[in-house]
Chains A and B, each alone.
Chain A
Amino acid sequence: MIFHFDNIAATLISGVIVLMLVGMQMRSREVNIEQTAFVTAKGQALELGDWLQQDLGNAGAGVPINEQFIEDYEVDAVTENTKRFSFQRKISEADAAPTLITYELLEGETIVVKGDTVQLYQVQRCEGAATCPAGSSDVNGKSPAGLTYFRIDLLDENGGAWTAGTSNAYYLRIRFSITSSFGLSDRDHLRETHWGTVLPVRARDS
């Protein structure tokens, strides 16, 4: 009889152990997925940031000093995202004249995170047009489609908001947030990764 009770007790305890091991395995998989999703989003953010730095860091290149190179700047009043930013720059030193570069923010799909609907965006870049023409073949570059926030600010020499419209500001401040396109769950802590920098404007005399 004691032998049977011993068996039963050991079986029950073993069952608990198996459940614990299964729970550990599932939790470990969740964290691994979250880490992978975060690293992917971080990689995308750093790559996009590098690309924006290279491009916007040369905004005004080839434009005579103090001539206007910012052509269009449009901000969404509700989301405060930058919807369109157009500027002139020479792509290479051999170019005869500056090229008009336009960044446009497009709405993508929506995702649900912890009951909240989050709108995703994608930035597309095109050359030679004030608005990007329809059709992906006319676009010269696209960001990942997981942007949740994209903002370009024009700043004065003190770092304050530029109030003179599209005339040449002293600095461009770029900020954006990217979320992972997979693996998001309500138990994840870091759902977005953020990036920001400030770039001086070249086409100024001081």
Chain B
Amino acid sequence: MQQTLLALLALIITVFLSYNQERSMIHAKGAMIDAEMEVMASGVALQVLEFIGHGAFDEQTTDDAKVTLTSELTSAGSFGASGRCDVSAPIETTYPYTVCDDIDDFHQMVMEHVPFVLQSDTVFFDVTAEVQYVDANGDAATGATFNKKVVVTVQHAGLKQYLKTPVLLSRTFSYERMRRS
């Protein structure tokens, strides 16, 4: 009887070991999926940043107009276009590029279901953008400066979010580099 009891004890321990192993494998596969989603989300974030940066630095600098004083720039409180700016392709016909033509028009932009197209499937992400003035050190500035920092946040769209933490990507656009000579 003793041997049977000891064998049963060994069986119980083995069942626990198997359970823990399955849990660690699920965790490892979750990490792999998370890594995959991060790369795709980074691609989406880069894409959105490129489209946002294509516009003029400020409303006052559209049509190649030049600005020499920071007081001429749009105040931070007025960031954001009158409508909803969207850089997803195809672009919203309601708010064409003639409206969303400078960087701060995309402040507090919310884009849902931005596609990352694969060959046989498409993964969708939700993207938000924040624009703020920053100083030469990249710190938030209280007033207008010739540097605007765009922070794009990308999260997997859908009821079940396979991206554990949203991907944040930021880029600072400087008027000095964007100014037309």
Expressed in whole angstroms, the Cα–Cα distance for A199 and B47 within the complex equals 8
Secondary structure of the B contact surface, majority rule? helix
Contact B4 A35 (CB under 8 A): no
Does chain A have a CB within 8 A of B136?
A: no
Contact B7 A31 (CB under 8 A): no
List the B side residues contacting A195 at CB < 8 Å. 39, 43
Which stretch (A17-25, A86-94, A98-106, A130-138) binds chain B?
A: A17-25
Expressed in whole angstroms, the Cα–Cα distance for A171 and B118 within the complex equals 18
Residue among A35, A158, A193 facing the most chain B CB atoms (10 A cut-off): A158
Secondary structure of the A contact surface, majority rule? mixed
Expressed in whole angstroms, the Cα–Cα distance for A134 and B150 within the complex equals 47
Contact B21 A28 (CB under 8 A): yes
- The residue on A at minimum CB distance from B51 is A159
A160-200 CB mask vs B (1 if < 8 Å, else 0) is 11000000001101010100000000000110011111111
Contact A194 B88 (CB under 8 A): no
Which stretch (B10-18, B71-79, B127-135, B140-148) binds chain A?
A: B10-18
Contact A194 B118 (CB under 8 A): yes
List the B side residues contacting A189 at CB < 8 Å. 29, 32-33
- With contacts A149-B119, A158-B90, A198-B46 taken as known, whether A9 is within 8 angstroms of B3 at the C-beta atoms is yes
Interface size on A, residues (CB 8 A): 47
List the A side residues contacting B67 at CB < 8 Å. none
- Out of B4, B25, B53, B119, which one reaches A9, CB within 8 Å? B4
- Out of B25, B28, B39, B119, which one reaches A193, CB within 8 Å? B39
- A residues adjacent to B (C-beta < 8 A): 2, 6-7, 9-10, 13-14, 16-17, 20-21, 23-24, 27-28, 31, 35, 38, 42, 45-46, 79-80, 148-149, 151, 155, 157-161, 170-171, 173, 175, 177, 189-190, 193-200
- B residues adjacent to A (C-beta < 8 A): 1-4, 6-8, 10-11, 14-15, 17-18, 21, 25, 28-29, 32-33, 35-36, 39-40, 43-44, 46-47, 50-51, 53-54, 87-91, 96-97, 116-119
Q: A24-B18, A159-B87, A198-B47 are in contact. List 16 more A-B contacts (CB 8 A).
A: A6-B3, A13-B7, A16-B11, A17-B7, A31-B29, A42-B36, A155-B89, A159-B47, A159-B51, A194-B40, A194-B116, A195-B43, A196-B44, A196-B47, A197-B47, A198-B50
